[in-house]
């Protein structure tokens, strides 16, 4: 079975309108997507590769090996503890999200989302989902 290879088009901003979603691009015109053309919308969480984490955590220890030759013992201990804590905090907490919009024809749009903007995008997902349920309910009751 062949693996699907979809190239994701990146957008800068997304807004909600009555008829659908409006995607704003950096160098292109904005695109309006009606609700009928939406297939999926989701957010995916990413974190660092474990090998990169191992490299980031091992940097302070390499610093110790090289600093022993040139620095005083007290400076080495203080510098290594500070660097180790700083790098450990950065490596462990480095996570990011991607917001995906997939159309029924297979076109995929994505946006990188910072941790502080996650709640805004989740509220947009909820609005679109309620609109989807509302449209499906109205189409079922009118039939």
Question: HSE of 78 in the Cβ direction (CA atoms, 13 Å)?
Answer: 5
Q: Say yes or no: domain 8-46+97-113 is CATH 3.40.190.10.
A: no
**For residue 5, pLDDT beyond 60:** no
- Give 21-62 pLDDT, tens digit per residue: 888 888 888 888 888 888 888 888 887 777 877 777 777 777
Pairing between β-strand 108-113 and β-strand 8-10 as defined by DSSP bridges: parallel
Domain boundaries, the chain: 8-46+97-113, 50-93
Q: Of 127, 97, 118, 102, which Cα lies nearest the Cα of 37?
A: 102
């Amino acid at each position: 079975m062949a693996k699907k290879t979809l190239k994701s088009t990146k957008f800068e901003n997304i807004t909600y309108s009555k008829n659908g979603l409006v995607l704003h691009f950096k160098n292109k015109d904005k695109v309006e997507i009606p609700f009928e053309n939406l297939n999926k919308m989701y957010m995916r969480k990413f974190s660092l590769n474990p090998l990169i984490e191992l490299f980031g955590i091992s940097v302070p220890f390499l610093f110790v090996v090289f600093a022993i030759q040139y620095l005083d013992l007290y400076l080495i201990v203080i510098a290594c503890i500070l660097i180790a804590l700083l790098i450990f905090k950065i490596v462990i907490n480095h996570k990011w999200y991607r917001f995906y919009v997939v159309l029924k024809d297979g076109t995929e749009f994505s946006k990188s989302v910072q941790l502080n903007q996650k709640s805004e995008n989740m509220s947009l997902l909820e609005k679109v989902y309620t609109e989807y349920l509302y449209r499906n309910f109205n189409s079922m009751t009118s039939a």
